[in-house]
Amino acid sequence: MKIDFCSLASGSKGNCHLISDGDNFLLVDVGLNGKQVEKKLSELDINPGKLSGIIISHEHRDHVSGAGILSRRYNIPIYANRGTWEGMMPIISKVDSNNIKIFKTDTPFSIGKFKIQPYSISHDANEPVGFSIENQGVKISITTDLGCINQVILESVKGSDLVVLESNHDVDMLKVGKYPYFLKRRILSDVGHLSNEAAGDAILQLLRHNVKSFLLAHLSRDNNFPELALQTVMNIMNENNISIGKDVFIDIIDGEKGSSLYTFATGL
């Protein structure tokens, strides 16, 4: 048995991640349009009609814009907490009442053999969450769109086989860049986004919580680039005598192309 993970996209143009055990196929966020998701799933030889559910972290457009159309087209249930449902309904339009699934933040729920733990994160949305998703001894956590790492997050993702971690911006690029002052303040705040440096520091903390594999995600198109994000994090690892490839695995999710397919053997 195995668990597959693939990020279809991650960034301001859209976020969407796929997790599957071969029987259940879950999307975490759908910030791409329906045709884009269908194309990317087709490239993985997955029929969208096989999707078991869509799980939403928060209501911002780059996480929900395609959720409604996929739900209507393929009769897919959408799982979100009450605050997120209230925020995203005007964006995704009408969804069949049978496909409106409301979970409680910090309370686990199941889809097939997947156990999903939604945990609170700090972001400027109604009720934003990250997810730790477990199945047959494999744990994958998705932690993006957060202004800071706290103890709740550390406890929620500890022991993960893979953590998708935000590495949104380079602080200096953001400060001298074209964004208006109010937007810079928002991004740099505790309800904004993690910088490359903050991502590196988070990895140091998570290494002490038995996490050794990371995908850097949600890179800004204007205030970051993949080589800089990866090098910044690697420098922090080197400064702390942590060997890349031996002590920790770190890779980047391409904003539009997504990631490679990662496969994890289950305990069964």
Integer Cα distance of 145 and 106 in angstroms: 17
Integer Cα distance of 151 and 156 in angstroms: 8
CB 66 within 8 Å of CB 78: no
Looking at domain 2-260, does it have CATH number 3.60.15.10?
yes
The pLDDT value given to residue 1: 81
Integer Cα distance of 153 and 189 in angstroms: 17
Integer Cα distance of 27 and 69 in angstroms: 14
The pLDDT value given to residue 164: 98
The pLDDT value given to residue 36: 96
Integer Cα distance of 4 and 14 in angstroms: 21
The pLDDT value given to residue 193: 94
Q: What single-letter DSSP state applies at residue 179?
A: S
CB 41 within 8 Å of CB 67: no
Residue position matching structure tokens 């995600």: 217
Walk along the chain (268 residues) in steps of 10 and give the mean pLDDT of each run: 95 95 96 96 96 97 97 98 98 96 97 97 95 97 94 94 97 95 93 95 95 97 95 97 94 92 86
CB 44 within 8 Å of CB 28: no
Integer Cα distance of 223 and 266 in angstroms: 38
The pLDDT value given to residue 229: 97
The pLDDT value given to residue 266: 87
One-letter amino acid at 223 equals N
The pLDDT value given to residue 48: 96
CB 61 within 8 Å of CB 91: yes
Integer Cα distance of 224 and 174 in angstroms: 8
Give the phi and the psi of residue 150 in degrees, each rounded to 5: -130, 180
The pLDDT value given to residue 218: 96
Each domain of the chain, given as residue ranges in start order, spans: 2-260
Integer Cα distance of 258 and 14 in angstroms: 10
